[in-house]
């Protein structure tokens, strides 16, 4: 009896990594169209993964006759030894016909899984396999042009800082994170030079990377400690590029200590909650419309392999039915900064302001964009370094 009990416990433990969770119910179908979502972090992380989870919920409601299943915490720390193809196999067994893989880190695994399941549709959120020709015919790459949201964050930071020192709390180093950090810097520099009319030499923009999208004790640098180091060294605004809200938490602590401190989280529209005294705003992803469109295309058999990079809806960047990228202004943003930011957003939308326009050099002084040259999508996507004027590492080496 004891052996049988122990065997049952062991089998239950082994199955934990492969458990799929159902969200909601079918909408009027005996056999609903099932789609799966692989989330890199917890589904309720108040950041990147929660934005995708809620986007999938939106898609489930928007596409009648569907059911969403998900597996969260898909990362080496939370699920050591578990592979993306194994998780995909489990979802396919549960009836999934379409699978979203939520993180750039899943690139190799989702490519392998897509080749193993040619009759299943796959969406890699971020990634560039379609661009490079590595994608199978059943795969789509989709992402939002968060560069715009990060420009807005940098602009708001420069309009707010009293010390001229802005810290950027970065995740791991890759092409995506370099271009997003650089977009923040370009937004900050534009506000500093063109609105505030200050000398660019008086603006400090420091990037510090922790090594992953969120804190993994013993593996990454501690984002709480990194944020504290910024504030303790006269940086009064910290912009977060990670999935979680440590920057806001630490800024709030510093204000309680009597210091001036502001922060901006990332990814999730509700990330400022609880930090009204310090939160200048949040650039966020709104995945619902894009996910719903892809679910409907998969259901209808109207599928083609493509690379999709979605801009904000410039008519209303915070319209949750149309805009993939938004910026929610925070309570701590001053009226002056808010008015200037609103003008900046309008100018980005009309093309009056183009920040990826030369002359711009890389951090080592080499040319990124020649004088008057406007960057192509590929030039922005495949940024090789941080930009000249930024402090911090351009690579993990």
Average pLDDT for runs of 10 along the chain of length 397: 37 46 48 96 95 98 97 94 97 98 94 98 96 97 98 98 98 96 98 97 98 94 98 98 96 96 97 94 98 98 97 98 98 98 98 98 98 97 97 91
Q: What per-residue confidence (pLDDT) applies to 253?
A: 97
CATH number at residue 215: 3.40.50.2300
The percent of the chain in helix, strand and coil, each rounded to the nearest 5, is 40, 20, 40
Within a domain: 315: no
Within a domain: 319: no
Q: What per-residue confidence (pLDDT) applies to 257?
A: 96
pTM above 0.95, yes or no: no
Residues 111 and 246 reside in one and the same domain: no
Residues 209 and 355 reside in one and the same domain: yes
Quick check: 140 and 305 in contact, CB under 8 A?
Answer: yes
Q: What per-residue confidence (pLDDT) applies to 1?
A: 37
Within a domain: 306: yes
Residues 299 and 271 reside in one and the same domain: no
Residues 109 and 216 reside in one and the same domain: no
Within a domain: 386: no
Residues 281 and 303 reside in one and the same domain: no
Q: What per-residue confidence (pLDDT) applies to 19?
A: 57
Number of domains in the chain: 2
C-alpha to C-alpha distance for 356 and 294, rounded to whole angstroms = 30
Quick check: 312 and 323 in contact, CB under 8 A?
Answer: yes
Strands 360-361, 367-369: pairing kind: antiparallel
- Residues of the domain holding 262: 146-285+326-381
Q: How far is CA 266 from CA 106, 110, 164, 292, 390, in A?
A: 20, 25, 21, 23, 20
Q: What per-residue confidence (pLDDT) applies to 397?
A: 74
Residues 217 and 347 reside in one and the same domain: yes
Residues 209 and 133 reside in one and the same domain: no
Within a domain: 254: yes
């Amino acid at each position: 009896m004891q052996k049988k009990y122990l065997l049952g416990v062991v089998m239950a433990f082994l199955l934990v990594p492969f458990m799929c969770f159902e969200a909601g119910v079918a909408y009027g179908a005996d056999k609903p169209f099932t789609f799966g979502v692989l989330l890199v972090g917890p589904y309720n992380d108040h950041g990147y993964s929660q934005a995708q989870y809620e986007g999938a919920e939106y898609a489930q409601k928007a596409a009648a006759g569907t059911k969403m299943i998900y597996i969260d915490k898909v990362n080496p720390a939370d699920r050591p030894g578990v592979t993306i193809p194994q998780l995909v196999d489990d979802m396919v067994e549960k009836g999934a016909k379409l699978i979203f893989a939520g993180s750039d880190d899943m690139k190799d695994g989702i490519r392998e899984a897509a080749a193993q399941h040619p009759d299943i549709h796959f969406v890699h959120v971020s990634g560039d396999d379609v661009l490079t020709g590595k994608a199978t015919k059943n795969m789509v790459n989709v992402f939002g042009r968060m560069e715009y949201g990060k420009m807005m964050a940098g602009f708001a930071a420069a309009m707010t800082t009293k010390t001229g020192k802005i810290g950027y709390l970065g995740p791991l180093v890759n092409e995506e994170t370099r271009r997003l950090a650089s977009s923040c810097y370009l937004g900050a520099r534009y506000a500093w030079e063109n609105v505030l009319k200050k000398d660019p030499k008086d603006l400090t923009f420091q990037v510090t990377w922790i090594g992953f999208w969120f804190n993994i004790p013993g593996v990454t640098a501690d984002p709480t400690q990194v944020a504290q180091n910024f504030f303790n060294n006269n940086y009064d605004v910290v912009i977060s590029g990670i999935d979680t809200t440590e920057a806001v938490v630490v800024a709030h602590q510093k204000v309680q200590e009597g210091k001036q401190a502001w922060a901006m989280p990332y990814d999730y529209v509700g990330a400022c909650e609880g930090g009204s005294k310090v939160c200048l705003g949040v650039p966020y992803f709104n995945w619902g419309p894009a996910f719903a469109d892809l679910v409907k295309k998969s259901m209808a058999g109207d599928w083609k392999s493509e690379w999709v990079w979605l801009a904000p809806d410039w008519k209303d960047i915070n319209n949750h039915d149309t805009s993939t990228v938004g910026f929610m202004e925070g309570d701590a943003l001053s009226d002056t900064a808010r008015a200037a930011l609103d003008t900046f957003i309008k100018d980005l939308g009309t093309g009056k302001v183009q920040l990826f326009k030369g002359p711009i050099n890389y951090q080592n002084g080499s040319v990124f964009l020649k004088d008057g040259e406007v960057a192509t999508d590929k030039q922005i996507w495949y940024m090789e370094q941080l930009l000249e004027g930024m402090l911090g590492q351009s690579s993990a080496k």
